[in-house]
Amino acid sequence: MAKLVRDKIPVIIEKSGKNARTHIADKDEYERLLKTKLVEEAAEFSKEPSIEELADVLEVVYALCDLLRIDKKQLEEMRRKKADERGAFANRIVLEEVH
């Protein structure tokens, strides 16, 4: 079942009377599992758009920032730069075809 879970999940499982077998991921496994978790959380948000699900996506993004040593302010600056240069998604433009 090797699934990356939030830090307090094993304690919550134990408190419910069940046993949780866990291990600590090395850097490579952690990065791989975070990428998988990002896709999983994005899919959950897509199915059920809510602030809770979007917060889960953001938590994974922040964990990736920490792992890859990307400053969150730097990430926001890059987001702004790309929005300034290429726009954001506010105008709802759908590209249908390019000739």
Does the predicted model carry a pTM greater than 0.85? yes
What is the average pLDDT score of the chain? 96
CA torsion sign for 87, 93, 96, 98 is negative
Letter string b/e over residues 90-99, b meaning 16 or more CB atoms within 10 A of that residue's CB: eeeeeeeeee
Query: What tens digit of pLDDT does each residue of 24-71 get?
Result: 999 999 999 999 999 999 999 999 999 999 999 999 999 999 999 999
